[in-house]
Structure 1
Amino acid sequence: MVVLLPVYQPGESLLTLVDGLGPARIVVVDDGSDPASASVLERAAERGCTLLRHPVNRGKGAALKTGFRHIAEAYPGEDVVCADADGQHRADEVRRAAERVRETGRMVLGVRSFAGMPLRSRVGNTLTCRLFEAVTGRLVRDTQTGLRGYPGAMLGWLASVPGERFEYEMNVLLDAARLGIPIDEVTIATTYLDDNASSHFAVVADATRIYWPMLRFAASRAGRR
């Protein structure tokens, strides 16, 4: 297993996750963090993480694709689990996702219970899941989860999916639906620290980036009828 952690302005929770993962091969992609994060990133590298850096902030999708390309070259054929390093995902959950990928050879999503989310996140996630099912015919119980596992054979495809920011992860699910790629799910804890204060999600701009691909997907399907 290789663990991929895209980060922007990371705090101590990055090191907590790294320590919990133990001997796992960990690739951290710093997406243009400012100098205040330098100490945390340096300590992650001292713990054995591979540290890749974007000189400026390019977005989560760009960070993930940088990581996928590096892993495909450095660890060919290895399965990858992507996780958020802001305290939302625990090391044992990362390992469970990796185990499911290994058992099934499928994409795996870590699914949270919406009941434990702050109101804004609960409403947004519920709406997004319902819209996704309406436009694709596929039920995905948590389209916004950042805990995702992928077989090594998918890395080339993942690097080709369009999107540079938060819309990238939605585009992956839409492309999987279009191609008929099966998706497995594992249940994980719903963890939000300080009402998700560390999130870098810009409500209006990033919500638009997420919903627009679904509307285009629906329009393309309608055009083929």
Structure 2
Amino acid sequence: MTDAWLVIPLFNEASVIAEVLEGARARFPHVVCVDDASTDDSARIAAAAGAVVVRHPFNLGQGAALQTGIRYVLEATDATYLVTFDADGQHRVEDAEAMVTRARDEDLAVVFGSRFLDSRTEPGFLRKIVLKTAVWITNQQTGLRLSDAHNGLRVVRRDAAETLHLKQDRMAHATEIVLQLGRSGLPWAEHPVHVLYTDYSRAKGQSLINSVNILIDTILK
């Protein structure tokens, strides 16, 4: 996957980022981690694992980190695709690879990962209700019909990436991405992915309360 770059927002993931990057770089040799002012060794470990590391001097939020990573790929590389990918180990590299392959084969500008197109992902009953509600609100706001609007695994072709100018720093950036990509008029599809809800990822940011925060940010967007 030499024509695709992984864009990984990074904030205090020192305990897992080396393992995540080891797996990711076996398929995607080009990775940029945007360190959002981590207070641990995340940036140093990511650099040692072979990623390009761009650092924010202050914590700006995941949306800002994604925008920085997108800008880096567009301005510093000739990549055809970029893949937004989480640092906590919940995304599978094989899903990202399949999504890039599908984008190439079907001439798609965007492939959105969806945990709700099959039954492999088990987010839990209450979390699923909250996320499904956020999906419904996002679809009303954007006019698209997605099954999973807040999945951080996405493949974006260069021409589509050039239309992204994210202003939302918190979780509402996911709705903003869908809105801006939808307005581009470029072809898109959803692809089934398996999100891994580990004890670590739940503790870091995939708890029920975080899903509620996603819903609140989506409503306030």
TM-score bracket, normalised by the shorter chain, equals 0.7 to 0.9
Deviation at 1:150, TM superposition (A): 0.4
Q: Deviations over 1:119-154 (max 9, x none)?
A: 342111111122233444421011010001100122
In the alignment, is the contact (CA less than 8 A) between 1:112 and 1:190 conserved in 2?
Answer: yes
In the alignment, is the contact (CA less than 8 A) between 1:81 and 1:94 conserved in 2?
Answer: yes
Match of 1:108 in 2: 111
> Which residue type is aligned with residue 122 of structure 2?
G
- Please identify which structure carries the higher helix content: 1
Do the aligned partners of residues 204 and 126 (structure 1) sit closer, same or farther apart at CA in structure 2, a change above 3 Å counting? closer
Deviation at 1:165, TM superposition (A): 2.0
**Identical columns (%):** 26
Q: Distance in 1 between matches of 2:143 and 2:66?
A: 27
Match of 2:215 in 1: 207
What TM-score comes out, normalization by structure 2 length? 0.84
Q: Does 1:95 align with 2:97?
A: yes
Do the aligned partners of residues 198 and 206 (structure 1) sit closer, same or farther apart at CA in structure 2, a change above 3 Å counting? same
Q: Distance in 1 between matches of 2:91 and 2:157?
A: 20
Q: 1:180 aligns with which of 182, 185, 195?
A: 185
Do the aligned partners of residues 47 and 11 (structure 1) sit closer, same or farther apart at CA in structure 2, a change above 3 Å counting? closer
Q: Deviations over 1:166-191 (max 9, x none)?
A: 11121111223344343211111131
**Number of paired residues?**
209
Q: Distance in 2 between matches of 1:206 and 1:111?
A: 16
Q: Deviations over 1:41-86 (max 9, x none)?
A: 3222122210111122101110011111111111134310011111
> Which residue type is aligned with residue 46 of structure 1?
A
Larger radius of gyration: 1
Consecutive unaligned residues in structure 2, runs of 5 or more: none
Following superposition of structure 1 onto structure 2, how do residues 118-197 of structure 1 map, counting pairs within 5 Å? 118-158=124-164, 160-194=165-199, 196-197=202-203
RMSD of equivalent CA atoms: 2.2
SS for the counterpart of 2:54 is strand
Q: Deviations over 1:191-220 (max 9, x none)?
A: 11127111077566553322223xxxxxxx
Q: Distance in 2 between matches of 1:179 and 1:151?
A: 12
In the alignment, is the contact (CA less than 8 A) between 2:131 and 2:211 conserved in 1?
Answer: no
Do the aligned partners of residues 178 and 212 (structure 1) sit closer, same or farther apart at CA in structure 2, a change above 3 Å counting? farther
